[in-house]
Amino acid sequence: MQKSKKRTLFFIRAYNDLDHFTPVIAEFVKKNENPIIISYCGLIISNDYRVQYLKSIGAIDIREIPDQKFISKSNASTFFGKLGRRVYNYTRQRNNWIARIRRRFFFNFSNELKFLHENDVVACVFEWGTPYIRGDLIERFFLAAKSIGLKTVAIPHGANVFVNSDVTVAYKKQFSIGKFPDNSDRNLYDYYVLQNPIRRDGWVRWGYDPIKTQAWGSPRFYSKWAKKNVTLCPAYSPSFNCDGKLKVAFMQFQKNYNINKKEIKKSLQALSRNPDICLVVKDSTRAGKEYFNKNKLSGELGDSMMGWVGNEVHSPSLIKWADCVVVFGSSIGIEVLIQNKFLINPIFFHSNSTLYEYFGASHDVFTIDGFNSVFEQIIKGDLSNDKNAINMLLSEMVYAGANKFDVPKYYYDKISSRHLDYSK
**Residue with the larger pLDDT of the pair 394 and 423:** 394
Distance CA(226)–CA(233), nearest Å, equals 10
424 pLDDT exceeds 70? Answer: no
pLDDT at residue 71, rounded to an integer: 87
For 7-222+403-416, give the CATH class: alpha beta
Using DSSP bridges, classify how beta strands 363-365 and 7-12 pair: parallel, antiparallel or unpaired. unpaired
Q: Is the pTM higher than 0.85?
A: yes
The string of pLDDT tens digits covering residues 151-204 is 999 999 989 899 988 888 888 888 888 888 888 899 999 999 999 999 999 999
Same fold, 7-222+403-416 and 235-397: yes
Distance CA(411)–CA(193), nearest Å, equals 10
DSSP letters spanning 63-90? EE---HHHHHHHT--SHHHHHHHHHHHH
29 pLDDT exceeds 90? Answer: yes
Sorted by where each begins, the domain ranges of the chain are: 7-222+403-416, 235-397
State the CATH architecture for 235-397.
Answer: 3-Layer(aba) Sandwich (3.40)
pLDDT at residue 1, rounded to an integer: 40
Using DSSP bridges, classify how beta strands 277-282 and 246-251 pair: parallel, antiparallel or unpaired. parallel
130, 185 Cβ separation under 8 angstroms: yes
Distance CA(132)–CA(138), nearest Å, equals 8
**264 C-beta neighbours (distance < 10 Å), count:** 22
**Residue with the larger pLDDT of the pair 73 and 153:** 153
Average the pLDDT over 62-81 and give the result.
Answer: 88
294 pLDDT exceeds 70? Answer: no
Distance CA(166)–CA(352), nearest Å, equals 8
Kindly report the backbone phi and psi dihedral angles of residue 336, in degrees, each rounded to the nearest multiple of 5, phi listed first.
-60, -45
The share of the chain scoring above pLDDT 70, in percent, equals 96
Average the pLDDT over 410-415 and give the result.
Answer: 97
Identify the band that residue 2 occupies on the pLDDT scale cut at 50, 70 and 90.
very low
When the pLDDT of each residue in the chain is averaged and rounded to a whole number, the result is 90
The string of pLDDT tens digits covering residues 107-144 is 889 999 999 999 999 999 999 999 988 889 999 999 99
